[in-house]
Amino acid sequence: MTATDLVAETQGGADDPRTLHQQVLARLRQSILLGRIEPGQALTIRGLAVELGVSAMPVREALRQLVAERALELMDNRRVRIPPMTIERFDDLIAARVVLEAEAAARAMPYVNEALIARLEAEDAELNKAVAERDYDRWIGANYAFHSMLYGAAGQSAFLPLIESLWLQIGPFLRRAMRTISGHYTVDRHSEALAALRRRDTMALRIAIEADIRDGIAHIGSTLIRSEALGAGAARGPSTSSGRADVVRETV
């Protein structure tokens, strides 16, 4: 399998109307969202370009865009990395998620109809199945789909991009924490949210969303306590070009 195949086989054929840099961006964004990129992993323009079978230019633009969304961080040496997580930052991100997503959900309420609820239920079922099968990617993906489907009910909202940015910042640190708490997923907050939607109960919806956010990731905080400043610098992966390519090949 060539690197080019990697790009072509999952998404974006030759007739993809999107520009190359948009395809690269979508790919990298999903990788970050699903936690496939290790916090300390080397992210070089040329490396990713070879990896994705494109030239450096689209990768450059995609990286810039991800830096703007705070999914990546531009270091002093002008390299790019996943921003290291600290307890303070994590706390901020969760707080921002809570206020933004609760408000976004509340503002979506007027647009809720049976069709939307049905789609949300389908996504919730998909999520539960993924949880049962311990399929992490589908789990995260379905969870994200559920939330964005709800917040986007009113059409394009100004909230969604902001929330996406927060997801991207949390994504890389979600996976490791998920493993440890995969058994703790006892209360189905999505069911509570769906019940609130059916009753058109905005307040209950806010509570369910907040609980969902806090439940899903509350345990990450303790993970962070055990390893301060996660992904700060010591956890640098293999740095030779061959080594990096190997790691990225299975992750991007």
Partner DNA sequence: CCGGCAAAAATGTGATCACATGGCGGCATG
Partner DNA sequence: CATGCCGCCATGTGATCACATTTTTGCCGG
Which has the closest alpha carbon to 2: 51, 45, 37? 51
The answer to whether 180 contacts DNA (rule: CB under 7 A) is: no
Q: Restricting to residues 30-49, which ones interact with DNA according to CB under 7 A? A: 42-47
State the minimum distance, in angstroms, from the CB of residue 111 to its own copies.
11
Binding-residue total with its own copies (CB under 8 A): 34
Give every CB contact of residue 144 below 8 A, 6+ residues apart in sequence: 33, 167
Contact between 212 and 101 under an 8 Å Cβ cutoff? The reply is: no
Contact between 32 and 226 under an 8 Å Cβ cutoff? The reply is: no
Distance CA 32, CA 144 (A): 13
Of 116-124, 126-134, 161-169, 230-238, the window that binds its own copies (rule: CB under 8 A) is 161-169
Q: How many CB atoms lie within 10 A of CB 90?
A: 19
State the minimum distance, in angstroms, from the CB of residue 242 to DNA.
9
Q: What residue ranges bind its own copies (CB under 8 A)?
A: 19, 21, 60-61, 64-70, 78, 88-89, 92-93, 95-96, 99-100, 102-103, 107, 154-159, 161-162, 165-166, 169
Q: What residue ranges bind DNA (CB under 7 A)?
A: 19-22, 42-47, 54-58, 60-61, 74, 77-80, 236, 239-241, 244
